[in-house]
Amino acid sequence: MTTDHLLQALLLIACLGLAFFCITLTRRLRKLNDLESGLGGAIAVMAAEVDRLERAIRAARDEATSASELLADEIETARRERAIWDLRQRIGLAADAAPKPSTSRRLRKRAEVSDV
């Protein structure tokens, strides 16, 4: 046996070892990517959950925006009503604070007018 034959035998053994390694690696990758029990299934489930959560977040954001707009409208309405109420209070206080002539003054004025 020459060195050429020996090197070819070693190369053949190395190729067989690499073939065995590739077959084993292929089997493990298939198990890992299995959509029902492997990592592929977990990734598929996680992707579906992320999509569902994104939709829920969008819906919550839209609902919060509409509630915020409604609350802003209600606050503005309350401010306008408060301003009207304050105005009515001032008008009522001004009318109450105005000096009212007493009955005796009225009678005196009537008597003076009738005397003239």
The 10s digit of each residue's pLDDT in 47-63 is 999 999 999 999 999 99
In this prediction, residues 35-48 reach a mean pLDDT of: 80
Q: What is the pLDDT of residues 71-114, one digit of tens each?
A: 999 999 999 999 999 999 888 877 766 666 555 666 666 666 66
| pTM for the structure as a whole | 0.47
Please provide the DSSP assignment of 14-55 as one string: HHHHHHHHHHHHHHHHHHHT-TTTSHHHHHHHHHHHHHHHHH
Triad 60, 66, 67: Cα angle to 5°: 85
